[in-house]
Amino acid sequence: MILVTGGSGYIGSHTVLVLLQAGFEVVVLDNLSNSSTVSLERIAQITGKKAVFIKGDIRNRALLDKLFSDYLIESVINFAGLKAVGESTKKPLAYYQCNVHGACTLLEAMNDAGVKSFVFSSSATVYGEPETDCYHENLPTGHPTSPYGRSKLMIEEILKDLQTSDNEWKIAILRYFNPVGAHQSGKIGENPTGIPNNLLPYISQVAIGKLPYLNVFGDDYNTPDGTAMRDYIHVMDLAEAHLDAMNAIMKINTANESALKIWNLGTGQPYSVLEMVKAFEDACGHDIKYKIAPRRAGDIAKFYADASLAKAELGWTAKLGLSDMMEDTWRWQSNNPNGYNHLLK
Ligand code: NAD
Ligand code: UDP
């Protein structure tokens, strides 16, 4: 059985779906601070299979001990955490508490239960500001600009120390670039609370008429159309990568190989903000209003993944392109204009 923490959230729910379809039994632990169990009900409708759901917090050691004694867990995929960059600058302690203390509590409980296979959601934000736009795993990590980013880097360092101290640990650190999109069914997707911070949820709320226009943050970057470029990756490709990474580390013979793996997950193809707007217009069939606004603090002009290591070591590459990302987001948004919110119990 696989424990997926944060499994009712955006990326977690798509990964739970992929795990169930691959034949794994899944336990989801989520405190529902940023999600609802409706995602899990929808997954059951799509797959005909149900994950066990436990409402609870990764910082609750007694609950974790009971969970590891009640279920035979082979591996843990940890999505649980707070993720809003802006909020993290206002509430740094909440972010370190939840993300760093949460990860440590979970790892301690795993260690004591003898479960030593761990897949971690990290982010491209851990890289420094290299000379290149194309990030390879061997580039040094830098100084993330927010408490959120620093919490990810701290957990990466903790995981390296843990694996160095005990070679039985098998750990995959997955550095996501910009996850977007939704399952092709239009039944599960991203469900941001309040006004979205990220580009695609914002565009899709403009498209559906909930927001008046998009602010394009900066049109004077050194890029072909002047707007900033990112490596957007479809959430289903990302979900598949978690399955592949988990399977790969579980097969490692730790007697001959280090079992601390870091893989970038992106497509390697960056798109500008205006290219994203245009692609969304093609998917939804009407114009998206936008205004050029000042650059957003902390943003850089361009970055994208060198994902060749994941291809070489996992046999994984992103299969879905820009039109899939946009069409699937639009299907989810137009079928569920209020996300899961109106269904909340
Ligand atoms: P999400 O908020 O949709 O999912 C996180 C889930 O964790 C939510 O369901 C939330 O209720 C739960 N949760 C939060 N704190 C918890 C705790 N202490 N105990 C138990 N459950 C808790 O976010 P997401 O976009 O699916 O992101 C998943 C992971 O991927 C996060 O760790 C995030 O930092 C990381 N990540 C996300 C992105 C992105 O752009 N979405 C990029 C890079 C990394
Ligand atoms: N962006 C924008 N308007 C928005 C949100 C984002 O122009 O309302 C731009 C942002 O400046 C960046 C890109 O879209 O260049 C992706 O931003 P997002 O917050 O989605 O991801 P990030 O790369 O910052 O993690």
**Domain segments of the chain: what residues?**
2-335
What span, in angstroms and rounded, lies between the C-alpha atoms of 47 and 270?
32
The verdict on the CB of residue 86 being under 6 Å from ligand 2 is: no
Question: Does residue 331 surpass a pLDDT of 90?
Answer: yes
User: Which tens digits make up the pLDDT trace of 199-254?
Assistant: 999 999 999 999 999 999 999 999 999 999 999 999 999 999 999 999 999 999 98
Which H, E and C letters describe 254-297, residue by residue?
A: CCCCCCEEEEEECCCCCEEHHHHHHHHHHHHCCCCCEEEECCCC
Mark whether 148 is an active-site residue: yes
Task: Give the atom of ligand 2 at the shortest distance from the alpha carbon of 227.
Answer: 15
What span, in angstroms and rounded, lies between the C-alpha atoms of 255 and 37?
41
What pTM value is reported for the model?
A: 0.97
**Among protein residues, the one whose CA lies closest to atom 25 of ligand 2:** 178
**CA 6–ligand 1 middle distance (angstroms):** 6
Q: What percent of the chain is predicted at pLDDT more than 70?
A: 99
Contact at 8 Å (CB) between 3 and 67? yes
| Ligand nearest to C-alpha 120 | 1
Task: Give the atom of ligand 1 at the shortest distance from the alpha carbon of 152.
Answer: 34
For 56-116, list the strands marked E by DSSP.
75-78
Q: Which of 96, 127, 148, 340 is catalytic?
A: 148
- Average pLDDT, whole number, for the chain? 96
Q: How confident is the model at residue 193 (pLDDT cuts 50, 70, 90)?
A: confident
Task: Give the atom of ligand 2 at the shortest distance from the alpha carbon of 296.
Answer: 11
- The closest of 223, 190, 226, 222 to 205, measured between CA atoms, is 190
User: Which tens digits make up the pLDDT trace of 275-314?
Assistant: 999 999 999 999 999 999 999 988 999 999 999 999 999 9
| Ligand nearest to C-alpha 242 | 1
Q: How confident is the model at residue 344 (pLDDT cuts 50, 70, 90)?
A: low
Contact at 8 Å (CB) between 188 and 17? yes
**What single letter denotes the amino acid at residue 284?**
C
Match 């851990």 to its residue by tokens: 126
- Using DSSP, state whether 17 is helix, strand or coil: helix
Contact at 8 Å (CB) between 146 and 89? yes
How many residues comprise the chain? 345
**CA 66–ligand 2 middle distance (angstroms):** 41
Residues ≥6 apart with Cβ < 8 Å to 278: none
**CA 72–ligand 2 middle distance (angstroms):** 41
Q: Pairing relation of β-strands 229-230 and 271-272?
A: antiparallel
Q: What percent of the chain is predicted at pLDDT more than 90?
A: 91
The verdict on the CB of residue 334 being under 6 Å from ligand 2 is: no
Question: Does residue 192 surpass a pLDDT of 90?
Answer: no
Q: How confident is the model at residue 345 (pLDDT cuts 50, 70, 90)?
A: very low
Average pLDDT over residues 34-39: 96
The verdict on the CB of residue 31 being under 6 Å from ligand 1 is: yes
CATH classification code of 2-335: 3.40.50.720
**CA 79–ligand 1 middle distance (angstroms):** 5
What span, in angstroms and rounded, lies between the C-alpha atoms of 148 and 336?
29
What span, in angstroms and rounded, lies between the C-alpha atoms of 293 and 107?
43
Contact at 8 Å (CB) between 236 and 14? yes
HSE, CB side, 13 Å, CA atoms: give it for residue 175: 24
Task: Give the atom of ligand 2 at the shortest distance from the alpha carbon of 298.
Answer: 24
Contact at 8 Å (CB) between 235 and 182? yes
For 41-116, list the strands marked E by DSSP.
52-55, 75-78
Question: Does residue 322 surpass a pLDDT of 50?
Answer: yes
**CA 83–ligand 1 middle distance (angstroms):** 6
What span, in angstroms and rounded, lies between the C-alpha atoms of 242 and 31?
21
pLDDT of residue 342: 61
| Ligand nearest to C-alpha 233 | 1
What span, in angstroms and rounded, lies between the C-alpha atoms of 339 and 191?
5
**CA 198–ligand 2 middle distance (angstroms):** 5
Q: How confident is the model at residue 168 (pLDDT cuts 50, 70, 90)?
A: very high
| Ligand nearest to C-alpha 297 | 2
Question: CA 141, 146, 152, 155: dihedral to nearest 10 degrees?
Answer: 90
The verdict on the CB of residue 32 being under 6 Å from ligand 1 is: yes
- The closest of 183, 177, 98, 101 to 133, measured between CA atoms, is 177
- The closest of 165, 159, 115 to 260, measured between CA atoms, is 159
